[in-house]
Amino acid sequence: MQIGPTRPVLVQTPNSFVALMTIQNIKMTFHSAHTEWHEALDAAGRFDTGDHVAGLGRWWLDRSGRRVALSAVAAGLLGIEAQPSLAACLDRVEPEDRAAVRAVFDRIMAGDDSVDGEFRVRLDGRGLRWLRLQQIDTPDTDTVASGILLDITAARNAAARERFNFTLTQYLVGTDSIDDAVVKILRLVCEELGWEWGAFWAFEENEDEEGLLRCRYSWQAPRQALAPFRQASARIRVTTAEGLVGAVWAAGEARWLEDVSGTPELLRTEEA
C-alpha cells in the first residue's frame, strides 16, 4: 500500500446506484499472493543445475496458504517431495529436533525475515545428517518467504572430532584406571553421536572361554528403558563368526544399520 493524493472515485453499489466517494491519501498497489506463489514454483525449477554443483537447496513458504516449495536439492536433503505440506517437512527430522523446527516455521509464518536454524534428519542409506536452514530477506513480497538449505554434516563432524579429541585427552589425563577411562569414552562417543546405548566388546579372559567376545563395558543414556537389552548383552558370548559383533570384529570395519528389526545378525533382537 502506497500513499497518494486525494481523488474522487466512482463506486458501483449493489443497488445499481452510482455513489461518489473520496479516498484520502491512499493509492493501493496489489500483487496477488497467487501470483507470488506461482513465481516461487517457477523459481524452484530454475535453480536446480547450479545448486546441484554447490549442494545448495532452496525453499519457499507461502504464508497465506501454508504451502511449501523445494528445489530438487532441498527435497533430496530433506528426503521428501518437492511440494510437501508443512507437517511433511518434519517426517525425516530427528524427534528431538522437531519442536525447534516447528518454532522456526512459526517465526516465518509470523513474518520474521531473519530465521536461521540447524537440525538433524535421518535418511535411508545416508544416516544422520545435519542441515542448516537460512531465510533470505525478500522485501518485495510479504506473502512468500524464501531461503536456502545446506548440508553442514562435514563441518559438524569436524567440530565434533576436535571436541572429542580435546575431551578424550582430559579424560585420559584425569583417569586412574582403564575401567574408568573406557566407560567415560563410551559416554563421550554416545553423546557426540546421539546414541542411546554403547558397549565395549573384548575377548574373554577366562581360559575356559578363550576366543569368545563378551560385553565388558556399556553405557546408556539416562531415562532409557534398556535394562533387558543391557542384561542380554552382559550374558551373551560370541565368536568372531557369530552375530553382528563378531562380523564387525572379524572384518575390522564399521557397520551402520538404520533399522535392526529385520537383521538376523543381531542376536539380541527381541531385547532391543
Grid cell digits, residue 158: 569436524
| 178: helix, strand or coil | helix
Name the stretches of the chain with pLDDT < 50: 1-31
Grid cell digits, residue 151: 548440508
pLDDT digits (tens, 9 = 90+) for 211-233: 789 899 999 888 777 888 888 88
| Residue 36, pLDDT score | 64
Task: Write the CB contacts of 46 (distance below 8 Å, at least 6 apart in sequence).
Answer: none
| Residue 247, pLDDT score | 86
| Residue 132, pLDDT score | 96
| Residue 244, pLDDT score | 85
> Which residue in 184, 266, 190, 272 sits closest to 228, CA to CA?
272
Q: Distance between CA atoms of 171 and 30, rounded to whole angstroms?
A: 64
What does the DSSP assignment read for 140-180?
Answer: T-SSEEEEEEEE-HHHHHHHHHHHHHHHHHHHHHT-SSHHH
| Residue 166, pLDDT score | 87
Phi-psi group of 266: left, alpha or beta (phi > 0 → left; psi -120 to 50 → alpha; rest → beta):
beta
| Residue 46, pLDDT score | 62
Q: Distance between CA atoms of 246 and 267, rounded to whole angstroms?
A: 11
106 touches 117 (CB < 8 A): no
| Residue 208, pLDDT score | 65
pLDDT digits (tens, 9 = 90+) for 183-197: 888 888 888 777 888
